[in-house]
Structures are given as C-alpha cells and as structure tokens.
C-alpha cells in the first residue's frame, strides 16, 4: 500500500453517490417492470430472473449504507449549514432503509407471517411513489443543462459541489449582476417546470393506488374484486347457497391483483363447456346449465400470491374437485391432474393425492357473487393450501395423466412445490 493516499471525504462521498445512483436506476427499472401487470405475459421466464436481479441489487444498497455509516458524522458536519442538503440526505436515507427493510420482508416472506408481506408491499410501493418522483426531480434539476450557463462552462468531471474537501461550506454564488433580473431565474424556471410536470404525472395515479391499497387492509364492498360490469355473458347466474349469500366471516379482506398471461378471455353460456378427460372411466363434458346442477359446497379460505399479497377470508362456493374426480372415475394408471385455462395458454397440475384434498374447489361464486371475468370467472380453481399460481383462472378442462406436468409458471422458474 506504500504511500497511497486515502481519498478525501468529498471524493469518497462522490463515489458512493455515483454507485448509489446507478443502483437506484437499475432497481427502479426492474421494480417497475416487475410490478407492471401487463408485462407478466411477455416477460415470461425473464420475470423470475429479473426478480432475482432486483433482490440482489437491492441487497447491495445495504453495502452502500454500511460504507456510508462511518463517513456520516463528518458528512453531517460538512453540510451542517446547508438545510437543503440535510433534508435531501434524510429523505434518501429513509428511502434506502425503508426499501431495504420492506424488500427483505418481501424476499423472505415464506418464512414470515403472511400479514407482514401485505404491509411490506404497501410500504415498498409507497416509498416508490414518493421516492422515484423525488429522485427524478433531484437528478433532472441537477443535470448540467439545468445549471446556469456560466456555471456549466467551468464544470469539470469532478463535481465540486459534492467533492468540496474539508469542512468549508461552499455557498451558492449570489446572482451575478450581469444577469438580467427576470421574474424567475433560469434555474427556478427549470425547477418549477420539472416539479410541475412530475406532480401532474404522478399525483392522479398515486391517489388511485392509495385508494386501492387502503382496500388491502380492510373488508371491501366488492370482496376484493373491484371490477364492476362483467364482460362474461353467463346466464342465468347461479343461486348462492345460504352460507355463501350471507358471506361467512363478513367478506374477503384485501384486494386481488388481476393477473393474466394472455389478453383477458371472455366467455358466454352458449359456448362455454367444462371437460374432464384423460385417464378416466367416463370422460364428461358439461355445459353451463348442467354444470350448475352439480352439488356445491361453501368454504372460507385465504388466498396467497407468491409475489407477496394476500386476500383473507374469501367465501368460495363451488364443486369440490374430488367430487368431479369421482364422477369421472379415475383409472389406476392416473397419477397427476392437469388443469387447462380457457385462455388457451395457462396450465398447472397437482398430484392425484394433492388434488383429492377436500378443500380443493372448482369455484363458481366468491362472497356470494359470480366470479368476475377478470378474476377467473365463470369458473376457477382454488387450492387454499398452495400459492395461487396453482389456482388456475378460467378453468375449463381437467385431464388425468400419468407423467408429471409442469405448469405455466413452473417452467418459467416457479417452484413446483407451492405449499404455503
Ligand atoms: N389462467 C391464469 N390463471 C392464473 C394466473 C394467470 O396469469 N392466468 N395467475 C395465477 C397467479 S400467479 C395468481 S396470484 C392468481 C391471481 O388471481 P387473480 O388474478 O384473480 O387475482 O391467479 C393464478 N391463476
Ligand atoms: Mo401469483
């Protein structure tokens, strides 16, 4: 190490700032892609990969925080007379620590109570709603073109503002007399217009998000299925059983995210059918009218998505899968049960033993109402003991097979073992 000088505080801080900025850019892009519902289909297995990347890059921000720790005292001393920089530092630290902690809960949620992950998801999202616009403003208004022209000209690659060595606070130079005193300086103009543009773009969707998120923490009128008119034309709707009409347990708590890997399909009673075939003694095909004649049961169960959100106390009414299997007569060679979605793309499977669990339901009603098209109606599978990627939406065919089948998400990296 002979004679190598330790870099000064300013230089170390500038270095950390640069690393942090790049990490946040990668995290923002990957995080936005991950939370964007429409990207689920075309990201495919890239989604699992992207999630790993997001997690590991996120963990690296902990390294930044650890490296910053020992510098913090001197840094605070250096900026003690600059309230704006202190405010900025506080915001950035709250964002990083908040994202990191909520991110760790979301990453490790299988080892934590499911209620934690709903909370962590809300915190992670809230920080993103507040933090990304803040950071965007912070970076755009500090870009070179946003500075005063004569200040831009003397900039070197080293950022003097942050790299200022020693404790001497560098004051913003007073406005040069040469500059004509307009009602607003160039800098102020840029700050105001960038601020306004970001506010206009972010505030309306933020309030929509906030409204929905409040629904995650309490009973919601629509039982967590927030869509109104149903594009499905399934008539007449089934009459709910008494327990289902009265919604045992007071109705679902939380909100479903609408997930699909295809454009949303649409069904009508005239063409809808439900088939059970493969290794069975009597393959059966029901139409809507016949299907509604099957004996239904009511169950209350929690619904967990592997991405960290849950909906509690759902009242589902439907036909137990075991009842359909008995009706078809499972042949001795059958070892797995494969489920086909009417979207033509999504499939999943259970072992015969798992499929015969008494709470696996082919559901028709949720909280006493027909299941809306967006949430898998008219008929979806419900496997309460497993993550919801096993709960195939728009279910229309069940096939008994001999060899294992790996479903849509399983071939894209999800664990075939989906036990909650
Ligand atoms: N056909 C189909 N079924 C599906 C999915 C899908 O994309 N397509 N997503 C699965 C996943 S990962 C979850 S969490 C739940 C989401 O159900 P919801 O869209 O009603 O909230 O459906 C599961 N079943
Ligand atoms: Mo999911």
Please write the tens of the pLDDT for every residue from 38-75: 888 788 888 899 999 999 999 999 999 999 999 999 99
Q: Do 209 and 289 fall within a single domain? A: no
Enter the tokens of residue 31. Answer: 């995080």
Q: Is 259 in the pocket of ligand 1 (CB under 6 A)?
A: yes
**Lowest mean per-residue pLDDT among 115-124, 133-142, 209-218:** 209-218
Q: Do 257 and 190 fall within a single domain? A: no
- Closest to 393 in 3D by CA, of 406, 404, 408: 408
Q: Is 314 in the pocket of ligand 1 (CB under 6 A)?
A: no
Domain end point (choices 170, 196, 216): 216
Domain end point (choices 216, 235, 270): 216
Q: Is 376 in the pocket of ligand 1 (CB under 6 A)?
A: yes
Q: Do 371 and 240 fall within a single domain? A: yes
d(C-alpha 62, C-alpha 66), whole Å = 6
Domain assignment present for residue 347? The answer is yes
Mean pLDDT for the stretch of residues 189-199: 91
Q: Do 194 and 333 fall within a single domain? A: no
Q: Do 128 and 272 fall within a single domain? A: no
Domain assignment present for residue 418? The answer is no
d(C-alpha 270, C-alpha 142), whole Å = 61
Q: Do 198 and 309 fall within a single domain? A: no
pLDDT given at position 359:
98
Mean pLDDT for the stretch of residues 91-118: 92
pLDDT at 142 over 60: yes
Domain assignment present for residue 40? The answer is yes
pLDDT given at position 156:
43
> What is the residue range of 272's domain?
220-412
How confident is residue 146, by pLDDT bands cut at 50, 70 and 90? low
Is the distance from CB of 323 to CB of 131 less than 8 angstroms?
no
Closest listed ligand to the CA of 44: 1
pLDDT given at position 164:
43
pLDDT at 158 over 60: no
Q: Which of 43, 262, 388, 416 to mutate to test the pocket of ligand 1 (most atoms within 8 A of CB)?
A: 388
Closest listed ligand to the CA of 393: 1
Q: Do 118 and 228 fall within a single domain? A: no
pLDDT given at position 167:
44
Choose between 96 and 149: higher pLDDT.
Answer: 96
Domain assignment present for residue 419? The answer is no
For atom 24 of ligand 1, the residue with the nearest CA is 392
Residue 343 CA, closest ligand 1 atom number: 1
Which residues, 6 or more positions from 390, have their beta carbon under 8 angstroms from its beta carbon?
348, 350, 381, 383, 407, 418
Report percent pLDDT > 90 for the chain: 69
CA of 335 from ligand 1 middle (Å) equals 24
Name the range with the highest mean pLDDT among 190-199, 216-225, 278-287.
278-287
pLDDT given at position 215:
72
CA of 380 from ligand 1 middle (Å) equals 9
How confident is residue 224, by pLDDT bands cut at 50, 70 and 90? confident
Q: Do 192 and 77 fall within a single domain? A: yes
The CATH number covering residue 242 comes to: 3.90.420.10
pLDDT at 151 over 70: no
Domain assignment present for residue 171? The answer is no
How confident is residue 212, by pLDDT bands cut at 50, 70 and 90? confident
Domain end point (choices 169, 197, 216): 216
Q: Do 203 and 296 fall within a single domain? A: no
pLDDT given at position 157:
43
297 three-class SS: strand
Domain assignment present for residue 2? The answer is no
Q: Which of 376, 380, 396 to mutate to test the pocket of ligand 1 (most atoms within 8 A of CB)?
A: 376
Output the pTM of the full model: 0.81
Residue 256 CA, closest ligand 1 atom number: 21
Q: Is 412 in the pocket of ligand 1 (CB under 6 A)?
A: no
Phi then psi for residue 342, to 5 deg, are: -70, 0
**Lowest mean per-residue pLDDT among 112-126, 175-189, 376-390:** 175-189
pLDDT given at position 148:
59
For atom 2 of ligand 1, the residue with the nearest CA is 393
Domain count across the chain: 2
Closest listed ligand to the CA of 303: 1
pLDDT given at position 155:
42
Q: Is 387 in the pocket of ligand 1 (CB under 6 A)?
A: no
Q: Is 291 in the pocket of ligand 1 (CB under 6 A)?
A: no
For atom 20 of ligand 1, the residue with the nearest CA is 375
Mean pLDDT for the stretch of residues 348-359: 98
User: Counting beta carbons within 10 angstroms of the beta carbon of residue 236, is it exposed (0 to 12), middle (13 to 18) or buried (19 or more)?
Assistant: exposed
Domain assignment present for residue 369? The answer is yes
CA of 389 from ligand 2 middle (Å) equals 5
Q: Do 141 and 258 fall within a single domain? A: no
Domain assignment present for residue 250? The answer is yes
User: Counting beta carbons within 10 angstroms of the beta carbon of residue 183, is it exposed (0 to 12), middle (13 to 18) or buried (19 or more)?
Assistant: exposed
pLDDT at 408 over 50: yes
CA angle 387, 119, 385 (to 5 degrees): 20
Q: Do 204 and 284 fall within a single domain? A: no
pLDDT given at position 220:
59
The CATH number covering residue 137 comes to: 1.20.950
Q: Which of 222, 393, 414 to mutate to test the pocket of ligand 1 (most atoms within 8 A of CB)?
A: 393
Q: Do 211 and 227 fall within a single domain? A: no
């Amino acid at each position: 190490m002979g004679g190598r000088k330790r870099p000064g505080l300013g230089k170390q801080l500038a270095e950390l700032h640069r690393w942090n900025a790049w990490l946040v850019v990668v995290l923002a892009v990957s995080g936005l892609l991950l939370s964007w519902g429409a990207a689920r289909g075309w990201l495919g297995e890239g989604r699992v990969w992207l999630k790993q990347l997001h997690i590991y890059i996120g963990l690296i921000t902990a390294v930044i925080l650890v490296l910053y720790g020992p510098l913090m005292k001197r840094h605070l001393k250096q900026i003690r007379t600059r309230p704006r920089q202190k405010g900025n530092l506080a915001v950035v630290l709250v964002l990083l620590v908040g994202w990191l902690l909520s991110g760790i809960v979301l990453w490790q949620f299988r080892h934590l109570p499911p209620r934690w992950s709903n909370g962590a998801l809300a915190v992670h999202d809230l920080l993103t709603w507040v933090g990304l616009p803040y950071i965007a403003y912070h970076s755009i208004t500090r870009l070179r073109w946003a500075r005063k022209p004569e200040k831009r000209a003397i900039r070197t690659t080293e950022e003097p503002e942050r790299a200022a060595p020693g404790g001497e606070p560098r004051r913003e130079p007073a406005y040069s007399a040469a500059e004509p005193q307009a009602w607003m300086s160039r800098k102020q103009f840029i700050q105001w217009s960038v601020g306004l543009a970001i506010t206009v773009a972010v505030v309306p969707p933020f309030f929509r998000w906030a409204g929905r998120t409040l629904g995650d923490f309490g009973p919601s009128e629509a039982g967590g299925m927030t869509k109104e008119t149903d594009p499905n034309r399934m008539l007449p709707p089934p009459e709910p059983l008494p327990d289902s009409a009265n919604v045992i347990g007071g109705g679902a708590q939380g909100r479903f995210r609408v997930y699909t890997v295809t454009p949303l399909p649409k069904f009508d009673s005239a063409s809808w059918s439900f088939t059970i075939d493969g290794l069975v003694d009597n393959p059966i095909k029901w139409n809507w009218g016949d299907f509604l004649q099957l004996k239904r049961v009511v169950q209350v169960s929690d619904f967990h998505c592997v991405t960290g959100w849950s909906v509690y106390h759902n009242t589902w009414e439907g036909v137990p899968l075991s009842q359909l299997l008995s009706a078809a007569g499972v042949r001795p060679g059958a070892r797995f049960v494969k489920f086909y979605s009417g979207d033509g793309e999504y499939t999943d499977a259970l072992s015969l033993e798992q499929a015969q669990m008494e709470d696996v339901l082919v559901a028709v009603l949720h909280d006493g109402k027909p299941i809306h098209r967006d949430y898998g109606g008219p008929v979806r599978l419900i496997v309460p003991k497993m993550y919801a990627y096993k709960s195939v939406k728009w279910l229309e065919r069940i096939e008994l097979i001999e060899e294992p089948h790996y479903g849509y998400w399983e071939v894209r990296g999800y664990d075939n073992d989906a036990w909650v």
